[in-house]
């Protein structure tokens, strides 16, 4: 009785282990690529180690890996973009993975026809080890890679003291976005995708553009920002003028005082001699 229970439990555990172990994970389920560029579809998989045929555990071994375009299961005679069993495949599709854990696919010279769902399938020496994750990776192919500027504020006219964040974005999402920001054609030191301007001053007014670093063909259309002395402005222009006048007066006073001192000194020297 106890032996039976144990056997059942073990079978159940193996079943669970087998079912849980079998995965295909795509870190990015959707990605974007510019036509003509190279895109990588990261992918990792865990094959099922073995299965129970009712009497014993039968080990499994992956014998075939493949990638399909727009096929939910990618099985049988479905055409593949990559198939480890076929020598006749498009060299644009490079399998960077293996038959153990890595199923990364790289697509070179991306074409419009690559705007599709890609799925990886593993096939073992027994059908029990075959598996496709139906989630897949959606690749969106775009023609233009021009960046565009998105503002955190709908208003293009902002007041002094307010703050605004400009975001340099693209129709494509890049995983590591390094951009160059320009203000009236001059490069700024910021390299992140977002430019935070806070608090705004009149000097922040201008035409902003951005581009992917080292890729000026992605230069965005200009974004015109105007900062005006509005109700929210806590630094009106008058204090600035007053400050400058004050500086000039102080400088003048110092100059006069110094000349007086020099004259007095000269007089004293003359008297002493």
Ligand X SMILES: *[C@@H]1O[C@H](CO)[C@@H](O)[C@H](O)[C@H]1NC(C)=O
Binding site for ligand X (CB under 6 A): 23-26, 29-30, 44, 96-97, 102, 104, 115-117, 133, 135, 138, 140, 163, 184, 198, 206-207, 222, 224
> In the chain, what is the straight-line distance between the N-terminal and C-terminal CA atoms, in Å?
129
CB of 46 to ligand X, least distance (A): 8
* Element housing 208 (H / E): strand 206-212
Q: Which lies closer to ligand X via its Cβ, residue 8 or residue 104?
A: 104
Residues in the chain: 273
CA 143, chain centre distance (Å): 19
CB of 116 to ligand X, least distance (A): 5
CB of 21 to ligand X, least distance (A): 10
* Alpha-carbon span 64 to 168, nearest angstrom: 43
Nearest-CB residue for ligand X: 23
CB 111 within 8 A of CB 141: yes
β-strand partners of 209: 182
CB of 104 to ligand X, least distance (A): 4
Phi, psi torsion values for 41, nearest 5 degrees: -105, 100
């Amino acid at each position: 009785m106890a032996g039976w229970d144990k056997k059942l439990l073990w079978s159940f555990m193996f079943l669970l282990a087998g079912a849980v172990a079998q995965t295909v994970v795509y870190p990015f389920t959707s990605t974007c690529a510019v036509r003509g560029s190279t895109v990588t579809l990261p992918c990792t998989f865990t094959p099922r180690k073995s299965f129970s045929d009712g009497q014993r555990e039968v080990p499994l071994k992956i014998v075939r890996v493949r990638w399909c375009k727009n096929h939910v299961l990618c099985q049988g005679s479905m055409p593949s973009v990559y198939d480890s069993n076929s020598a006749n495949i498009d060299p644009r599709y490079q399998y960077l993975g293996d038959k153990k854990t890595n199923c990364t696919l790289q697509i070179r010279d991306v074409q419009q026809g690559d705007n599709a769902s890609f799925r990886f399938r593993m096939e073992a020496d027994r059908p029990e080890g075959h598996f496709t994750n139906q989630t897949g990776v959606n690749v969106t192919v775009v023609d233009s890679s021009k960046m565009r500027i998105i503002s955190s504020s709908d208003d293009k006219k902002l007041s002094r003291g307010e703050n605004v964040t400009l975001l340099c974005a693209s129709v494509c999402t890049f995983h590591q976005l390094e951009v160059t920001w320009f203000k009236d054609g001059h490069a700024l030191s910021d390299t992140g995708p977002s430019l935070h301007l806070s608090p705004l001053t009149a000097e922040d007014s201008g035409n902003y553009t951005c581009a992917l670093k080292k890729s000026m063909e992605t230069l965005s259309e200009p974004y015109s920002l105007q900062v005006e002395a509005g109700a929210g402005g806590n630094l009106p222009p008058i204090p600035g003028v007053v400050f400058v006048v004050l500086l000039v007066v102080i400088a003048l006073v110092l100059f006069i005082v110094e000349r007086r001192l020099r004259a007095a000194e000269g007089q004293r020297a003359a008297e002493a001699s």
